[in-house]
A and B are shown apart, each in its own frame.
Chain A
Amino acid sequence: MIKSVEYISLLIIPLFLLFTVLYGAVKKVRVYDSFVAGAKEGPAIILKIFPYLLTIFVAIKGFQASGAFDFLRDAFYSLFAFLGVPIEAVSMAIVKPLSGSASTALFADIVQTAGPESLATQMSAVIMGSAETTFYVLAVYLGAVGIRKTRYLVPVCLIADFIGIVVAVVVTRWFF
């Protein structure tokens, strides 16, 4: 089952590319020129996104390095200790919304230190798989169209992240 989904995943982009190109050719589109014309728009988009990305990354890295992150983790840990949530899972829950690469590194570290079949690993795995790098998504998507007034989007995302993590904890407890 996993293998077949993995195979489909590998197949999707090549097939989609083939279909697009062939369909274009049938419709008498000069596909090479079209692709070039499209690709030309890439740099302008990235130039728009870059300042947003930089601004959010500076805040995230600074937050992690300043010790504020450790404080937040310990605070959450004491809050959830009665539920039996391992501290590794609490770290993962805070890191994942902030940074994709940091969460991957943290997860590898947890698996190594806590053992691949420990509760800490399983719970971190579920959090890692079910949460998204919220701040990155917000910076990139809002930056791409220059949205400055986000209304209540940010609180909604943070509340949703929090609920998502609680759900992940409960589901893991129920499974393992």
Chain B
Amino acid sequence: MNVLWLIMICVSVVFAIFTGHLEAFTKSIFDGAKSAVEVSLYLLGIVSVWMGITKILEDSGLIHRIAHLFKPLICRLFKNIPGDHPSITAITLNVLANLFGLGNAATPLGIQAMQDLDTLNEEKGLITPEMMTFIVINTASIQLIPFSVIGILASYGHRNPAVVVLPVLISTAISAITALLVLAVFKRIFR
């Protein structure tokens, strides 16, 4: 992230100077800060709601039951998660939320999953292979029906917006699998 961020800032400033976008660039920096505040406020609400729900799951023991149920499935991808660990539940719910396009649930559950995975982390601050797998699955965006895309198509008078469903599904499936393969290759190279 360090290198990427450094490159983005340097390249942007150089371009802003040479293309005469200096004013727009300066303004955009503060726009960025503003949208970070807005997104954080939005996240504050939905994350707190899911933390509340998760606490009930924990106190009632349901979290371990769900973990136990989905363990065989999840542990195929995540090798070093022991027993009925709560992270299995968070990962399962996050994947389900993504599948059904429930953005309001997917992000908080993903945060939860990261925190649960971090309890297994022996060297805090250093990413674990399980976290990498989880993030790669999330950035591959597995979704059954792209509701927002269909919604926009329909609102601009597309006769049959549902035609995009199959190509989107095929593309996501292929790209999710290749993403995991790329990760597996890197894991093999830098172990």
- Answer whether A and B are interacting partners: yes
Q: What is A's interface to B at a CB cutoff of 8 Å?
A: 2, 5-6, 8-9, 12-13, 16-17, 20-21, 23-24, 26-27, 29, 31, 34-43, 45-46, 49-50, 53-68, 71, 101, 104, 107-108, 111-112, 116-117, 121-122, 125-126, 128-132, 134, 137-138, 140-142, 144-157, 159-161, 163-164, 167-168, 171-172, 175-176
Max chain B C-beta neighbours (<10 A), residue from A54, A71, A138: A54
A164 in contact with B56 given A140-B111, A141-B110 (CB within 8 Å)? no
Max chain B C-beta neighbours (<10 A), residue from A13, A42, A130, A164: A130
**Mask of B157-191 contacts with A, CB within 8 angstroms, 1/0:** 11100111111101110110011001100100010
Q: Is the CB of B156 within 8 A of A152?
A: no
> Is B24 among interface residues, defined by CB-CB distance under 8 A?
yes
Top 8 A-B residue pairs of the complex, sorted by shortest distance between their CB atoms: A38-B55, A42-B48, A129-B146, A164-B175, A65-B28, A132-B141, A61-B32, A160-B179
Complex A-B: 16 CB contacts under 8 Å: A6-B145, A31-B56, A34-B58, A35-B53, A41-B51, A65-B28, A66-B12, A149-B127, A151-B190, A153-B127, A156-B136, A156-B179, A157-B136, A160-B179, A164-B171, A175-B163
Q: Chain A contacts of B31 at CB under 8 A?
A: 61, 65
Q: Is the CB of B135 within 8 A of A132?
A: no
**Mask of B10-29 contacts with A, CB within 8 angstroms, 1/0:** 01111110110100110111
How many A-B pairs fall under 8 Å by CB?
Answer: 327
Q: Is the CB of B145 within 8 A of A2?
A: yes
**Interface residues of B toward A: which range?**
35 or more
> Is B49 among interface residues, defined by CB-CB distance under 8 A?
yes
Q: Chain B contacts of A36 at CB under 8 A?
A: 52
CB distance from B121 to the nearest CB of A (A): 8
Closest to B184 in A: A156
CB distance from A52 to the nearest CB of B (A): 9
Interface residues of B in 122-144 (CB under 8 A from A): 124-127, 131-132, 134-136, 138-141, 143-144
Partner among A35, A58, A111 whose Cβ is within 8 Å of the Cβ of B29: A58
Inter-chain CA distance A36–B59, complex, in Å, is 12
Partner among B12, B51, B62, B134 whose Cβ is within 8 Å of the Cβ of A59: B12
Q: Chain A contacts of B4 at CB under 8 A?
A: 154
Q: Chain B contacts of A157 at CB under 8 A?
A: 135-136, 139, 179
CB distance from A114 to the nearest CB of B (A): 10
CB distance from B31 to the nearest CB of A (A): 5
- For the A-B complex with A62-B13, A134-B139 known, give 17 more contacts whose Cβ atoms are closer than 8 Å: A9-B101, A20-B60, A29-B60, A34-B58, A38-B55, A50-B36, A57-B39, A62-B25, A62-B28, A107-B149, A116-B156, A116-B159, A132-B138, A132-B141, A141-B135, A167-B178, A175-B166
Interface SS of A by simple majority: helix
Q: What is B's interface to A at a CB cutoff of 8 Å?
A: 1, 4-5, 8-9, 11-16, 18-19, 21, 24-25, 27-29, 31-33, 35-37, 39-40, 43-44, 47-49, 51-62, 96, 100-102, 104-105, 107, 110-111, 114-115, 117-118, 121, 124-127, 131-132, 134-136, 138-141, 143-150, 152-153, 156-159, 162-168, 170-172, 174-175, 178-179, 182-183, 186, 190
